[in-house]
A and B are shown apart, each in its own frame.
Chain A
Amino acid sequence: MANFFEQIFKEKKLAYAIFDHDLILSERSRNFAQTIQSSSIDPRSPIWDIFPELIGSEDQVYEVLYNRQKKYELEKINKYSESGKLHYYQLTLLNLKDTSYVPKLLCVVADTTAETSLEQAIRQQKYEIELLQASLSSYGQYSSNSILGESKRIQEVREIVGKIARIRNTTVLLQGESGTGKNLIARAIHQTSMLPKTPFVEINCASIPSTLLESEIFGYEKGAFTNALMSKKGLLEEADGGTLFLDEIGELSLSLQAKFLTFLETKTFRRLGSTHEKSVNIRVIAATNKDLKEAVGNNEFRQDLFFRIDVVTLKLPPLRELENDVIIIANHFIHLFAYDFRKKVKGLTNNAKSKLLNYSWPGNVRELRNVIERAVIFAEGDKIDANDIILTEEKGIDEPSHRFTLPDNGLSLFEIEKNLLLDALAKANGNQSRAARLLGLTLDTFRYRIKKYHLNL
């Protein structure tokens, strides 16, 4: 009779095990271990070792054991076989009544691999499509989001990035002081204009000696020079189908400028030591903190290359011109560093905000990032205070270049102060907050002085 049941269980892809009132294994079908994908089962194992999925459901298990609950079921339990194949089973717990009146627990395991695998395949297809759609629609979203700020200047930058992104093959020139985020903008342009997973290859022309830069950009063939033991792809080939970002292009040597110009015009090049021409499809984004027009005038930069890369030029504003964006960007860095350092810093006190707004930020966003990193480390409370903010230029305030020497015949402090206020307003196009910052004053102090000198604006 037992064999008969075993046969039926096997055919129906079922297996069973019986646990005594202490929930220790007492009996099982021959196919039990195989059905739950277990290589070996200790004959006196507690139920929790065989079915760790029941940990946390102890109450339900005992309710069934003592017949206070009819059954307890867990569906679609995943188990990998030793060969790595995924199996699914359903576990049902039932109270087992027998003549001894000692409660026992019957565990029935049903192998549901066939039907669940089908469901898995359907869902897999559905989710893969949704994931692909999501990745296509959100691609670039993070990059444009990464241009932080609400000022007019930043909105203009975002707008131009959007326009540039629509035209894939135009060369773009990014100009701006060091630390204004040229690299970030280059990535934003790349991500908003290219398909996912297309390469973004960057090189800082100032960081590699001119002699090596040529082979880095154009690649070389085996034997092209003494140490060329094997052929190597250059960055142009690495960037094929995507973007090549040349940072500090103003540092390229004149001979390399000529070679690069040829590439830009023909989209073809030769590896060093090769006679074979290669062509690639890439967008070039160049960046510089130099005035390239001036470099052309000084014969440091080829005029023809300048005209070739000056098709679409995006001038990145320095941080000091971004008004309240300083606070927005600072808050972003606070969140980042608070997370990294596991600190509960959430924002800035009003004094700290005022200190940040009244600083000229010669190192731009890079400097702001460093200042905030340090401030988060040293902040005691949940807000960064002015004392936590150490600004680089504070140290240099007594340097000779900042000193004003009184002329021998004296001067009128009244007139100088008045003129400085007017100058600052003119430079800030009438924007009082910006003018106050140019003079290192708070807005209130600035307004007080305007009133003091009866400057009717």
Chain B
Amino acid sequence: MDKQIKISKKICMLGTFGVGKTSLVRRFVYDKFDEKYLSTIGVQISQKQLPPMKNSSAGRTERLNLILWDLAQIEKFNNVIKNYFRGSQGAIIVFDVTRLKTFKETDVLLKSYLEMNPKSKLVFVGNKTDLVKSSELDLEQFLRLSESYQTSYFLTSAKTGKNVGQLFTHIGKLLLEAD
């Protein structure tokens, strides 16, 4: 019988305030959504195990436990933040598709993150797609970002659950492939 290995990986949720980082984690881990906005201070850590995945390069089945670090809006990069970023193997960078400003605000933060974790896997996420019609989405920004960082992007709605599971499964696969 195929041997199953349990592996834990730390993933940081990055993005400016109010983009829905906490809601995405909450939807993924507990399948819940809260309309009321509650700003995060510090870090909220959640875990969820993905279904077993075949790692073809390692020739075994692996159970990946995602340790999700839902970080507050980072206003100043200091040692506290360094400790939050430390050892992260993946980052989900979240934007609000209804607030174009959120794209610009993440640039410096992402650079600091990558300085500490240069090999980290990245995925860009446009959240709150339930608030705009698909024809109104400006995908240029995502295309530019995903091309410059050679990664993919997802359009999600934590409210409806659209693409949330796919997003976390995708980053899980990227992490396993990188091992």
Contacts and interface: CB of A to CB of B under 8 A. Distances in A.
B18 to A, nearest CB: 5
A408 B80 CA distance: 92
Nearest to A141: B100
Interface stretch (B53-61, B107-115, B137-145): B137-145
Interface of B: 8, 10, 17-18, 37-45, 47, 67, 69, 72-73, 80, 83-84, 86-89, 98-101, 132-140, 142-143, 153, 155
B133 A187 contact: yes
B89 A56 contact: yes
Nearest to A54: B87
B43 A77 contact: yes
Nearest to B99: A134
A134 B104 CA distance: 14
A73 B83 contact: yes
A378 interface: no
A346 B43 CA distance: 38
B41 A78 contact: yes
B42 A116 contact: yes
Given A56-B10, A120-B41, A332-B135, 4 more contacts: A55-B8, A75-B42, A124-B38, A127-B17
Contact of A77 (B37, B42, B137): B42
Contacts of A56: 10, 67, 86-89
A60 B86 contact: yes
A72 B47 contact: no
Interface of A is mostly: helix
B121 to A, nearest CB: 14
A70 interface: no
B40 A55 contact: no
A221 to B, nearest CB: 33
B67 A88 contact: no
Contacts of A142: 98, 132, 136, 138
A407 B142 CA distance: 59
A74 interface: yes
A98 interface: no
Given A57-B86, A76-B43, A116-B41, A138 B98 contact: yes
B100 A146 contact: no
Contacts of B43: 53, 74, 76-78
Contacts of B41: 76, 78, 88, 116, 119-120, 123
Given A76-B42, A77-B45, A127-B17, A57 B73 contact: no
A43 interface: no
Interface string A3-43: 00000000000000000000000000000000000000000
A59 B43 CA distance: 20
A253 interface: no
Question: Most chain-B Cβ atoms within 10 A of its Cβ — which of A55, A56, A78, A146?
Answer: A56
Given A78-B40, A145-B136, A52 B47 contact: yes
Contacts of B80: 73, 75-76
A135 B73 contact: no
Interface centre among B67, B136, B139 (most CB of A within 10 A): B136
Given A124-B38, A124-B39, A128-B37, A335 B140 contact: yes
A131 interface: yes
A119 B47 CA distance: 26
B39 A74 contact: no
B98 A57 contact: no
Contacts of A135: 98
Contact of B87 (A55, A116, A124): A55
A394 interface: no
A336 B134 contact: yes
Contacts of B135: 146, 184, 332, 336
B60 to A, nearest CB: 21
A145 B67 contact: no
Nearest to B96: A134
Contacts of B137: 336
A130 interface: yes
A78 B98 contact: no
